Amino acid sequence: AVEAAGDVDVLLLDKTGTITEGKPVVTNLIWETSSEEDKKILYTLEMQSEHPLAEAVVNRLKEEKISSLPIEKFESLTARGVKAIVNNVTYRVGNIKLMAENRISVSESLTSMANQFQEEAKTVVYFSNQSTVLALIAIADNIKPTSRAAIQSLHNKGIEVYMLTGDNEQTAKAVAQQVGLKHYKAEVLPSEKADFVKKLQVEGKVVAMVGDGINDSHALAQ
As to burial, measured by CB atoms within 10 angstroms (0-12 exposed, 13-18 middle, 19+ buried), residue 161 is: buried
Catalytic residue check, 14: yes
Please provide the average confidence, as pLDDT, over all residues in the chain: 93
Least Cα distance to 175 among 196, 147, 203 occurs for: 147
pLDDT at 79: 81
**C-alpha span between 125 and 134 (Å, rounded):** 11
Task: Please say whether the beta carbons of 22 and 144 come within 8 A.
Answer: no
- Amino acid identity of residue 72, one-letter, is E
pLDDT at 191: 87
pLDDT at 215: 76
pLDDT at 51: 84
Task: Please say whether the beta carbons of 120 and 142 come within 8 A.
Answer: no
pLDDT at 180: 96
Instruction: Provide the whole-model pTM.
Output: 0.84
What 3-state class would DSSP assign to 177? helix
Average pLDDT over residues 166-179: 92
pLDDT at 85: 95
Q: Pick the catalytic residue: 14, 141, 167, 216? A: 14
Which range, of 13-27, 173-187, 205-219, averages the lowest pLDDT?
Answer: 205-219
pLDDT at 190: 84
Instruction: Tell me the pLDDT band of 34, cut-offs 50, 70 and 90.
Output: confident
Tell me how far CA of residue 212 lies from CA of 29, 41, 47, 162, 218, in angstroms: 27, 30, 22, 16, 12
Per the DSSP assignment, residues forming a β-bridge with 164 are 14, 185
pLDDT surpasses 80 at 214: no
Instruction: Tell me the pLDDT band of 84, cut-offs 50, 70 and 90.
Output: very high
Instruction: Tell me the pLDDT band of 15, cut-offs 50, 70 and 90.
Output: very high
pLDDT at 97: 92
Task: Indicate the helix (H) or strand (E) that contains 96.
Answer: helix 96-101
